[in-house]
Amino acid sequence: GAVVSQHPSRVICKSGTSVKIECRSLDFQATTMFWYRQFPKQSLMLMATSNEGSKATYEQGVEKDKFLINHASLTLSTLTVTSAHPEDSSFYICSARPSGSLSWEQYFGPGTRLTVT
């Protein structure tokens, strides 16, 4: 149980285009999902916390107009990187917290490798 999927697993896009990444909890409902970014040989950096039916909470330094998050259902959150640039190339990972669970629980997706050319 507690499986989280991400789609796509890899994406290459041209500079200036937008890319949408999906995060799904497959066998549980998740009121809260988290989006992280990880650069090579670095740790995960929390970008934003996504709550179903409300606006996402962004970490300091993360542009909310560039990284659009939509958590429209209890099993799906999407991250859209708008007007992507090469410096946005990174490994994006989502995690999901089961609804009603203890605050420490979260299950990670397999990640999405974004390359902007």
Partner 1 sequence: SQKIEQNSEALNIQEGKTATLTCNYTNYSPAYLQWYRQDPGRGPVFLLLIRENEKEKRKERLKVTFDTTLKQSLFHITASQPADSATYLCALAGGNQFYFGTGTSLTVIP
89 contacts partner 1 (rule: CB under 8 A): no
- Give CA–CA dist 84/17, Å, rounded: 6
- Given a contact cutoff of 8 angstroms between Cβ atoms, the answer to whether 28 and 98 are in contact is yes
Eight-state DSSP code of residue 86: G
Minimum distance from residue 106 beta carbon to partner 1 (Å): 7
Which CB sits closer to partner 1, 18 or 29?
Answer: 29
What contacts 56, CB < 8 A, 6 or more positions away? Answer: 48, 49, 50, 64, 69, 71
| Residue bearing tokens 């946005």 | 88
Which CB sits closer to partner 1, 4 or 79?
Answer: 4
Minimum distance from residue 14 beta carbon to partner 1 (Å): 23
**Which part of the chain contacts partner 1 (CB under 8 A), choosing from 12-20, 68-76, 77-85, 102-110?**
102-110
- Give CA–CA dist 81/20, Å, rounded: 6
In the window 6-65, what residues touch partner 1 (CB under 8 A)? 6, 32, 34, 36, 41-46, 49
Where along the sequence are the contacts to partner 1 (CB under 8 A)?
4, 6, 32, 34, 36, 41-46, 49, 91, 93, 95, 103-104, 106-111, 113
